[in-house]
Amino acid sequence: MDASSWTVVLICAILWTICRFKNFCRSMLLALRLPGPPAWPIIGNILHVTNTKAQFALADNVGKFAPFARVWMFLLPTILVYQPDHLRVILSSTKVAEKNFFYQLLQTFIGNGIITSTGDEWRKNRKLLQPMFQLGPIERYFEQFARTSEAVFRRLQTQKHWQITGIVNSCVVSILHKTILGVDLGPKDDTPFRKGQLLIIKRILKPWLLLDSVFQMSEMSRNEAKHKHDLHLYVRKVLVDRKAKLPDTNGKKCFLDNLMELEANGDLSEEDVVNEAVTFMLAGQDSVATGVATCLFYLAKHQEEQRRVHEEIEAILRDSDSQALKLEHVKKMYYLEQCVKETLRLAPSVPLIARVVVKDVTLDGFTIPTGTNIFVSPYATHHLPQIFSDPFKFNPDRFSVDNIKKIHPFGYLPFSIGPRNCIGYKFAYLEMKTMVATILRNYHLQLRHEKDELKLSYRISLRAKGGIWLNVQSRILLQEE
């Protein structure tokens, strides 16, 4: 080929590259115009992933990066959206933004359930599962919430010091086995849902492992695949056993029973049933356990608020014919619910939501191109002073009947918001309220040291770093004294 022919080939190659990566280039140009935290060459802000202090510093001061912040994930430009008006645009419709590739990385751990699926498959399954998480069906689980909570926490009556995170997690795992799988689980029973480690963070830190072909050759992949196999095998055995025995549910079906009906009707395959059961077992574990443990810490730290919750519980039970905790009791515990909501404002269990823009979106004069990755930080939004005055203070009265009306509809999103919000949020709220009510009815909580502070670790879900230790006194023994 002569020089002119090579020139034509080169021009064609350049034009093809520009067309193929046009939106990526537009995202790069936008990111270069936006403010954001200092970034390293090539690796960008990736070290924030392992630096909890840096993550909280960014979230706590995100308002100085207006109208939104730029974050580099290696050379991948990502936009951190935190203003409620912008979140309304991004999260209110799946026609604007969808889940991005980060959720695909979860498939190697939990399978292709409602959390990781997209498109028509997600829409179909979401529609099928939504009725199971309306308030009526959810309230049928209350008896299991109350019974399991009472059994777990009664066993600890003589202990004066609790590592509350481990205790609460054990209770949540037992509740999930009964309500999701219909299996009674003792404190020492073996289950793969007590084990395992999500490796997505480690994959992000080693970008070559984001390529499935490379990841599948790693020891990390083999460990994750084994745990996924154990989870799915465990659920499949429960499913086979439940089908064989066809238990008399007496109208009180577990989640798996409902999935079995969908399979029998041809709406779901057996593989779908297993995937969804595993998904809800995992999704309902860390988020609720962290929320309950954190709420108990705040109430131990804020004795006046704890007193108000306990007085509310006692007043409701005093006016009841039954001293056993019942659904109608918990539904009347409005101040307790305010405390749970304020806890999830200060420490949302899921601190980061990832999306990808599926069409050009204009926010405050900036056009975010199709294909741009978006981060949403509920933690950052929940700490905006223009939405919540004195945002670092524990103040449950923010969620009183009068004050809650003043909160921007997209200013509070502990379970995300919009069509892709957490389908099980009503389940989580009722479960959390029941567990906290059971504990505070029976125990008075104090910090081990007056100046103890909550140390959170910023990962896929917020965790209490090092656990939470509380001093506990039985209220029965206190009355006897």
pLDDT of residue 480: 52
Rg, the chain, Cα only: 24
Provide mean pLDDT across the span 128-142: 90
Distance CA 44, CA 314 (A): 54
pLDDT tier, 228 (very low <50, low <70, confident <90, very high otherwise): confident
β-pair partners for 2: none
More confident residue, 399 or 196: 399
Q: Tens digit of pLDDT for each residue in 265-324?
A: 999 999 999 999 999 998 888 889 999 999 999 999 999 999 999 999 999 988 777 778
Tokens encoding 144: 């299991």
pLDDT of residue 220: 81
pLDDT of residue 463: 80
The Cβ-side half-sphere exposure at 85, using a 13 Å CA radius, reads 7
- Determine the Cα angle at 45 with ends 43 and 47, to 5°: 85
pLDDT of residue 112: 81
Regarding pTM above 0.95, the answer is no
Tokens encoding 57: 């510093």
pLDDT of residue 195: 74
pLDDT of residue 4: 61
In order of 43, 81, 83, the CA distances from 364 in angstroms are: 28, 12, 11
Distance CA 315, CA 99 (A): 45
The verdict on whether residue 254 carries a ligand-binding annotation is no
- Residue 107: pLDDT above 80? no
pLDDT cut 70: percent of the chain above it: 91
More confident residue, 268 or 47: 268
Domains of the chain: 51-479 (1.10.630.10)
Residue from 405, 293, 397 nearest 338 by CA: 397
pLDDT tier, 451 (very low <50, low <70, confident <90, very high otherwise): confident
Peptide bond into 351 cis (omega under 30): no
- Residue 384: pLDDT above 80? yes
